[in-house]
Amino acid sequence: MSVLVGKDTKLCVQGITGKSGAFHARGCMEYGTQVVAGVTPARGGETFEEKVPIFDTVGEAREKTGCNATMIFVPPEFAADAILEAADANVELIICITEGIPVMDMMRVQEILKSSPSRLIGPNCPGIITPGQCKIGIMPGYIHKPGHIGVVSRSGTLTYEAVWQLTCRGKGQSTCIGIGGDPIIGTTTLDAVKLFAEDPDTHGIILIGEIGGSTEEEAAEWIKAHCDKPVAGFIAGATAPPGRRMGHAGAIISGGKGTAAAKKEALRAAGIAIAETPSSIADTLLTLMK
């Protein structure tokens, strides 16, 4: 089994004719992902790599190809509308890689998606991968290995670090979800943890968070009450000065909330093992699973 994406996923790429969209669409195709459509307004009727049809709208792409996922590579000022266009076409899974989307735009998107069946991952995220089956995003596919550990992370690079540690130890991943580091995102840490908890093929979970917001605390509370699978966590930004934004727009401490110390305390209280350094993330979980 897999979480959200697998061999049956049919991917559309919004912005497939742009430099980044084309590069990463090729990467997904080379990994084995079914890329069935691209969308670029006014480029309908063309093809990408001589085999992927390009459409003017997501609605047309959905109607003609049956795409059930879309990956968005469009400039920040157009990204919110691209998300809503995909939702309007009833695409089940929307992965938005674009960073720098205005917060007000994402507030509008978040409110509309509340009444939509579409699920959003991102924005400002590396995407999602079920190793050996489907890669949607910018992550290096070769570091992943099929297996039974679910990974959810707000940080792309720390996701890669944890995954490589697992793979080097001969332990594969069921699915890895990079949820993004913006203040307003679609799928949250808690949402991803629930998916992994319900997946019989996921035997352990790695949760990578960072300062700012309360998503890790919310996930910890749910894990304590409902999840009996081993969970290991890492919180980035422990040395960040209060009030200082560190990398991600969502990684900012305000009003004394969202500190690394508070998050670690919440995770420990839920029975989650804490990795104190990035290099010990995998071993922290694998120790629990012995």
pLDDT of residue 119: 98
Confidence label for 249 from pLDDT (cuts 50, 70 and 90)? low
Residue 265 lies in a domain: yes
pLDDT of residue 140: 98
Same domain, 195 and 277: yes
Residue 205 lies in a domain: yes
Residue 239 lies in a domain: yes
Structure tokens at 280: 């010990």
Same domain, 110 and 24: yes
State the residue range of the domain holding 152: 139-288
Q: Is 57 left (phi over 0), alpha (psi -120 to 50) or beta?
A: beta
* CATH number of domain containing 21: 3.40.50.720
Percent of the chain beyond pLDDT 70?
Answer: 93
List, in order, residues 6 or more apart from 199 with CB less than 8 Å away: 1, 2, 3, 150, 174, 175
Same domain, 262 and 145: yes
Domain limit, last residue, from 90, 121, 152? 121
Confidence label for 246 from pLDDT (cuts 50, 70 and 90)? low
pLDDT of residue 213: 83
Residue 19 lies in a domain: yes
Confidence label for 241 from pLDDT (cuts 50, 70 and 90)? low
Residue 263 lies in a domain: yes
pLDDT of residue 258: 73
Same domain, 223 and 98: no
Same domain, 275 and 164: yes
Structure tokens at 134: 């489907």
- Which has the higher per-residue pLDDT, 278 or 214? 278
Separation of alpha carbons 223 and 267, rounded Å: 9
Q: Among 267, 265, 252, 253, which residue's Cα sits nearest to residue 207? A: 267
Same domain, 151 and 250: yes
Same domain, 177 and 267: yes
pLDDT of residue 244: 54
Task: Write the pLDDT tens digit of every residue in 104-152.
Answer: 999 999 999 999 999 999 999 999 999 999 999 999 999 999 999 999 9
Same domain, 104 and 143: no
Separation of alpha carbons 258 and 214, rounded Å: 6
Same domain, 85 and 161: no
Confidence label for 245 from pLDDT (cuts 50, 70 and 90)? low
Same domain, 225 and 88: no
Please state the domain count of the chain. 2
* CATH number of domain containing 247: 3.40.50.261
Same domain, 88 and 164: no
Same domain, 110 and 229: no
Tell me the average pLDDT of the chain: 94
Separation of alpha carbons 186 and 180, rounded Å: 9
Give the containing element (helix H, strand E) for 177: strand 173-178
Structure tokens at 43: 């480029």
Task: Write the pLDDT tens digit of every residue in 149-199.
Answer: 999 999 999 999 999 999 999 999 999 999 998 999 999 999 999 999 999
Task: Write the pLDDT tens digit of every residue in 52-64.
Answer: 999 999 999 999 9
* Catalytic residue annotation: 248
Check the CA dihedral 164-188-77-251 and report its sign.
negative
pLDDT of residue 211: 86
| Poorest-pLDDT segment among 20-34, 184-198, 201-215 | 201-215
The stretch 17-40 carries a mean pLDDT of 98
